[in-house]
Structure 1
Amino acid sequence: MKTLILFVALVGYTQALSYSDVLEEEWNRFQLDYTKFYQTEDEALLRRLIFVDNKRRIDKHNRRFMAGKESYEMGVNQFTDLLPKEFQSQMLSSLNITEAEGLIDFRYTAPRDVDPPSSIDWRARGAVTPVMDQGENCGSCWAFATTGTLEGQTFLKTGRLVSLSEQNLIDCSNDAPYYNEGCKGGLELNALMYIMHKGIDTESSYPYRGTQQKCRFNSSNIGASVEAFIGVSGEANLAAATAFHGPVSVRVDSEGMQSYKGGVYNNPNCSDEILDHAMVVVGYGNDKSGGDYWLVKNSWGTTWGENGYIRMSRNRNNQCGIATIAVFPIV
């Protein structure tokens, strides 16, 4: 009899639990999971309102995902208490395409006599270092994209996978002729030019801090160097470059990626010209439900996306500009 009463009580509680109650529980869990502390009650209230609004949007999208109308899932992550504009200002780095185009001396063209494989994953071949987190309030994606492609190219040449210092680039590649802006943004091409002239220290000798600091480059700690860099445009060329030459740095329009959780990201509304985020293509393949994809390493930590990676739509008219201006170094 007592068991029956308890069961009825639990059923009544479940039925009484509203969507607002669920959101409140998720808000409380979010603060614990991501160690969120707010300085004032007003700030906490604002963040809660933003979280609830983002969570409603996530749930609406995921209902479409469950119905087979979307190819990717959204989810709560460390950015769910941020407005899209806040997320953009804290995490992203804009790119002047005209300026970047002028820095490229060599262009890659896919070989005509050899077709690239149907899929490749450079992680499985040991050419990719672990995902890192650039941290909030530092738009250093350009530095991570630079080290990501250079780490892969250096591994393919030497057989040694060495993590390289993003902090070195943030602190030291700001003056002429490189003109990067630390946590405010930068260009992978300028960073590669800096490495051509100076070299780059290892991550272990010059660890990441997530803020721009005084340059501490030490030539005795150089982990890699660059002889030249090659520009890549077009998805066919990007596939061949990735397959035959290793990880490639790319730029994308990240609109909508703030809440990405998994699946093949398909956003036909994103731009192929407004490229505000840098990442590294480390492979490509095909998903039965989502179609062709690029396997892309990000720098927002492992709690974002698929353990820090995103699968982006491939062969869909250069969606999000992923093949507008890509680059890899010659070492």
Structure 2
Amino acid sequence: MYGNTLSEMYCKKNLWVVRNKVVRCDNDCVDGVCKKETLLTCQEQNGNICESYQVCNGEVLSASNTNRCCLGQCKIPSSFDWRNRHGENWNSPVKDQGSAVTCRSFGPTGVFEAQINLYFNQHLDLNLSEQMLEDCMFRDFLSETTVCRSKEGYDLSYCKTQKWGLPDELCDTYAERISQFPTVNTCTLNYVCDDWSLRVWKNSDYKWYAIHPNDRTGDDILGRVSSAYPDDIKRYLIKNGPMSSGLVSWNHDMALEGYETGVNGEVVWIFKNSLGTQSGEDGYIKTRANDFEYGTELNDPIQPQGPFTPPLNRSYWPIGFIN
């Protein structure tokens, strides 16, 4: 009854949708069948090429859509959360800093652990030593130098993890001890395990994301946040994983790991905190972007960069770890 109706229509039309692809027959039609199919380019379809961090008309593009062609608008997703990426939580477990003011060590360590999970695409959920970062806050690890300081004089945790690495929790167990250098030097083998150098994980680089136009210059800048903020931060977060940041007004460092859109369209940042799972949403907190001024109140996010290298002593590798 139907004969070659579809084939004939396909051949007679210049454009036709075949197997969910828009093709052109180029008039090469024999007995109602197109002998030469030409896939139209995204431009020919009046489409837009979406970046990997964007969605098409609010939907994630199919994995089979390798050319990222969207017959609509490419936009940054309205929400993103590394606790639920591909149905999995890529952050390490929430920790508790107790009564000590050591968030400056917990925030960077939490991000470091999450980045290692993502780099190796394995849920290693390492438990690395925040106490060692704190004990050596004002001295490079077990040395008398201060190489890892920013131009502003701040400690650069990921510079230290790049040069010397960060060992497991048992190498320098958390004791709610705040660095009081130079009154007390805790960056010694009196506090740190003597085989620490064989137990460390290392990053190969680290980068800042500068929010204010005059913040930070030089080779350590991965991306400068433009007037498009907060979309720049969203994009970096999706493409590169959690970042160590926090709120200046709270004087509190945390792990920035996601965002969502509030009922009035405002950005809501999602942080992994270090006050135990009893606080916030099982240890995570949400803060509206318009609760603080962008340029001065959100710390410039910093992020360790791979490749990451595991400990030289393989006995400190997680069970099942594949390097």
What TM-score, normalized by structure 1, do the two folds share?
Answer: 0.52
Check whether the contact 2:266–2:290 (CA below 8 A) recurs between aligned residues.
no
Question: Which residue in 1 is equivalent to 2:111?
Answer: 149
Read off the aligned partner of 1:238 and give its amino acid letter: I
Select 1:279's aligned residue among 250, 254, 278: 254
Question: Which residue in 2 is equivalent to 1:177?
Answer: 146
Question: Which residue in 2 is equivalent to 1:120?
Answer: 80
Q: Does 1:308 align with 2:283?
A: yes
CA distance in 1, matches of 2:191, 2:295: 34
| SS of the residue 1:148 aligns to | helix
Read off the aligned partner of 1:172 and give its amino acid letter: C
CA distance in 2, matches of 1:211, 1:316: 32
Higher helix share: 1
Question: Which residue in 2 is equivalent to 1:246?
Answer: 241
Change (3 A) 1:130 1:194: same
| SS of the residue 1:312 aligns to | strand
> 1:328 Cα deviation (Å)?
0.6
Q: Does 1:325 align with 2:300?
A: yes
Check whether the contact 2:148–2:156 (CA below 8 A) recurs between aligned residues.
yes
Matches within 5 A, 1:29-48: none
Could you report, residue by residue, the CA deviation over 1:143-176 in whole angstroms, capped at 9, with x for unpaired residues?
Answer: 1111111111111111233122101111234223
Select 1:227's aligned residue among 192, 200, 204: 204
Higher strand share: 2
Could you report, residue by residue, the CA deviation over 1:78-136 in whole angstroms, capped at 9, with x for unpaired residues?
Answer: xxxxxxxxxxxxxxxxxxxxxxxxxxxxxxxxxx9553433221123332122212121
CA distance in 1, matches of 2:156, 2:166: 13
Amino-acid identity (%): 27
Check whether the contact 2:248–2:298 (CA below 8 A) recurs between aligned residues.
no
Read off the aligned partner of 1:216 and give its amino acid letter: V
Change (3 A) 1:289 1:306: farther
Matches within 5 A, 1:192-203: 192-203=158-169
Change (3 A) 1:281 1:321: farther
What TM-score, normalized by structure 2, do the two folds share?
Answer: 0.53
Select 1:293's aligned residue among 237, 251, 268: 268
* RMSD (Å), alpha carbons: 2.9
Change (3 A) 1:290 1:131: farther
| SS of the residue 2:83 aligns to | coil
Change (3 A) 1:300 1:321: farther
By relative contact order (CA 8 Å, sep 6+), the higher-ranking structure is 1
| SS of the residue 1:249 aligns to | strand
Structure 2: unaligned runs, 5 residues or longer: 1-49, 55-75, 140-144, 179-185, 212-224, 307-323
Question: Which residue in 2 is equivalent to 1:132?
Answer: 95
Could you report, residue by residue, the CA deviation over 1:170-212 in whole angstroms, capped at 9, with x for unpaired residues?
Answer: 12342231679xxxxx95x511111111100122443311114
Check whether the contact 1:254–1:320 (CA below 8 A) recurs between aligned residues.
no
> 1:320 Cα deviation (Å)?
8.4
